[in-house]
Structure 1
């Protein structure tokens, strides 16, 4: 019922609140140390690594979530092929990332070693965290799953603090290597303290054709889901001046953080949607309606608060970020659409409609690309913020329409 979900949402929101504090601390420290120009470069290459890293597991992390939420005994069976798939795909994708990100070497001066450190962290190590956190999520230990996800954030905050204190000659390189070391330490701690071991190497195997087919839809889903939230920063690094790119990247990190309670609510509801989405259509429809109303009300409230509080961010980021307040106010246009897009995408995933989600998010990326190319030349960073808002609201509208259509088809046969 909604009561347990609301309680789980509250617990998860508390954990996410701690995550928000750690992310905010890391953001402010790194932004101050690097300055807007270098921060924009870092955000661009890191966002590209995050997007490519979503393909490392080839969707097996979401298959793992769905299978274990239905039958916990399937854990070892899925992990036996999911882990080698993730490492194999991740290694190949790391090479692709280094080749693709080479564009930035001449344009921004980001070194190959910095790219390698960021790429290894996001494309090889971070995808393995998904299995550790998704196991808790599948068992409805939502808050515990967020604790696992928070481990690398703690380590990155420590790395950022060290770089801030030692006044490194090349702070971008120093933080990038700290970024990689933080992910490695966090993964080691998480696996060492896990209640159940992973399959041994001799139990690993390659996935069958049917298993690959099952996970392929979720791979596309993960890629397109991450794209709207990250690829804009890579576009900003290409289309904007370094200073404007840094302001935009910092502003989008702020508005992304305020959607964490929406994510908490969805994480709390996902196991139930996976279990009951196909068997109890009317009750599921009521739950979906409740989630969407809550997401809309929260996002409207937080948008108003963020708009009013925007002038305070100038003092937080420092004098090098002049214009950050206006950037955040323009980005407020995207917040309600972002919240509804996140909600709609998670719902379609849980209801077994990964291609629907992939479809509306691909449409959103196309809108983002077209609008950013049209607007940034005349409006600069403001145009990028407006392009993001157009993309988020397009995805929200398409996602909600697809959910409504899917639920009507699910209810009608049973009513007949």
Structure 2
């Protein structure tokens, strides 16, 4: 074994990955605690119907989040991990794309809101909350990926945790300092907290240039993040498009579904922490597939265990958020096994990124997005939350099947897959 091989083994030992993911998990748990506390606070203070409206408003903004920045934050992570010397170049290009797409993204979100949401909602407060959600969420993602590319796991976690913590603080002060609050009050407080966090993040967007010989490994044109943009859009459509449609069937349905969905998201944090700590290490490795297979099997086993736990503890949900949300118990049990499919798809995505077949991820995501939107429109009006859950599983299954089929073609032909 050469010195390079020994150093490589030490650098990629499971203990180091566990420590990095443990640090990140701590920040993610803090973030999840803030999100969970915000969910419980708003669910109890507003009640089922107004809370469902709030969820649908934020969900509409979430549909447009992938448009802002064009997916280049993921390219910053990949290129920055591979070519750290030129990270300032990649980051500046992503910042320019963020500025250039923010206003069009807000306009698209407002247009979708006018199409999907009831006309009697508080328009100005709704638009302010949506614009703040778009700007704060996307800038947080970009700044966090910048730090992740530099292997600053703790700062990456802190940036992601800061936004929900500030929102919780502002909403908590609102509830504590005033009497009964309305949906309008919540929307304005949510917008104020989001804009305040943007002001905290903006100073760090000026990354000093470094004089280096040689060109960056990649030019990083605006369209280079297109596969990640399509993938993120498909995930948003799968997770958020059903809420404004559920709102049309019943305001409480959107609230129940959102509570169950967020419970799955929070419970999945250990899996997500392991993956986020793993990706930059894998990106920097010349031949990461052996490590990917080992860690992938462990992640899938943990996802199955997580599903069983979620199914068992689902009845506790109504005790936490109140009896108005008993319907969320059934939804949580239906969604309990979704993390297994999500982990499997994430592993397949990395496999294609390593092979340089990123376009296939975009095709798979586009297919999943089509299945998700058409399924919601076809089944949610007739079957409510059961139709939304079935569509979510169907979209994941279609994406995985497409990626597996593409993998088989690539292995059998040993040729690039179109």
Given that 1:307 and 1:328 are in contact with CA atoms closer than 8 Å, whether structure 2 keeps it comes out as: yes
Gaps of 5+ in 1: 201-207
Deviation at 1:215, TM superposition (A): 3.4
After superposition, give the CA deviation of every residue in 1:197-230 in whole Å (9 maximum; x if it has no partner): 4369xxxxxxx99712323344333323433233
After superposition, give the CA deviation of every residue in 1:143-194 in whole Å (9 maximum; x if it has no partner): 32011111111111112313333456653222222222222222333455x5
Counterpart among 154, 157, 161 of residue 150 in structure 1: 161
Counterpart among 91, 94, 98 of residue 79 in structure 1: 91
Given that 1:338 and 1:393 are in contact with CA atoms closer than 8 Å, whether structure 2 keeps it comes out as: no
- Please give the alpha-carbon distance, in whole angstroms, between the structure 2 residues aligned to 1:371 and 1:47: 17
Relative to structure 1, is the Cα distance of residues 81 and 374 closer, same or farther in structure 2, using a 3 angstrom cutoff? Answer: closer
After superposition, give the CA deviation of every residue in 1:113-151 in whole Å (9 maximum; x if it has no partner): 233222222222322222321122111222320111111
Relative to structure 1, is the Cα distance of residues 376 and 129 closer, same or farther in structure 2, using a 3 angstrom cutoff? Answer: closer
Given that 2:292 and 2:347 are in contact with CA atoms closer than 8 Å, whether structure 1 keeps it comes out as: no
- Please give the alpha-carbon distance, in whole angstroms, between the structure 1 residues aligned to 2:101 and 2:377: 32
Given that 2:76 and 2:91 are in contact with CA atoms closer than 8 Å, whether structure 1 keeps it comes out as: yes
Counterpart among 343, 361, 373 of residue 357 in structure 1: 361
Taking the TM superposition and a 5 Å limit, the aligned residue runs for 1:57-68 are: 57-68=69-80
Give the corresponding residue for 2:134: 123
Structure 1 position 47 matched with structure 2 position 51: no
- Please give the alpha-carbon distance, in whole angstroms, between the structure 1 residues aligned to 2:245 and 2:349: 22
Structure 1 position 272 matched with structure 2 position 281: yes
Give the corresponding residue for 2:257: 248
Partner SS for 1:30: helix
**How well do the aligned residues superpose, as a CA RMSD in angstroms?**
2.8
Give the corresponding residue for 1:311: 315
TM-score (norm 2): 0.85
After superposition, give the CA deviation of every residue in 1:229-257 in whole Å (9 maximum; x if it has no partner): 3333344334x311122111111111122
Given that 1:295 and 1:343 are in contact with CA atoms closer than 8 Å, whether structure 2 keeps it comes out as: no
Partner SS for 2:305: helix
- Larger mean CA deviation between 246-255 and 112-121 belongs to 112-121
Relative to structure 1, is the Cα distance of residues 224 and 365 closer, same or farther in structure 2, using a 3 angstrom cutoff? Answer: closer
Given that 1:137 and 1:271 are in contact with CA atoms closer than 8 Å, whether structure 2 keeps it comes out as: yes
Relative to structure 1, is the Cα distance of residues 288 and 409 closer, same or farther in structure 2, using a 3 angstrom cutoff? Answer: farther
Given that 1:274 and 1:351 are in contact with CA atoms closer than 8 Å, whether structure 2 keeps it comes out as: no
- Please give the alpha-carbon distance, in whole angstroms, between the structure 2 residues aligned to 1:2 and 1:109: 57
Partner SS for 1:54: helix
Say how many residue pairs are matched. Answer: 395
Given that 2:116 and 2:244 are in contact with CA atoms closer than 8 Å, whether structure 1 keeps it comes out as: no
Given that 1:43 and 1:233 are in contact with CA atoms closer than 8 Å, whether structure 2 keeps it comes out as: yes
Given that 2:369 and 2:395 are in contact with CA atoms closer than 8 Å, whether structure 1 keeps it comes out as: yes
Give the corresponding residue for 2:8: none
Relative to structure 1, is the Cα distance of residues 213 and 395 closer, same or farther in structure 2, using a 3 angstrom cutoff? Answer: closer
Partner SS for 1:109: coil
- Please give the alpha-carbon distance, in whole angstroms, between the structure 2 residues aligned to 1:401 and 1:291: 22
- Please give the alpha-carbon distance, in whole angstroms, between the structure 2 residues aligned to 1:348 and 1:312: 40
Counterpart among 233, 248, 254 of residue 243 in structure 2: 233
TM-score (norm 1): 0.85
Partner SS for 2:36: helix
Give the corresponding residue for 1:183: 194
Gaps of 5+ in 2: 1-11, 210-217
Give the corresponding residue for 1:31: 43
After superposition, give the CA deviation of every residue in 1:57-98 in whole Å (9 maximum; x if it has no partner): 123222222222122232332333322321221111111211
Give the corresponding residue for 1:366: 370
- Please give the alpha-carbon distance, in whole angstroms, between the structure 1 residues aligned to 2:64 and 2:197: 21
Given that 1:68 and 1:75 are in contact with CA atoms closer than 8 Å, whether structure 2 keeps it comes out as: yes
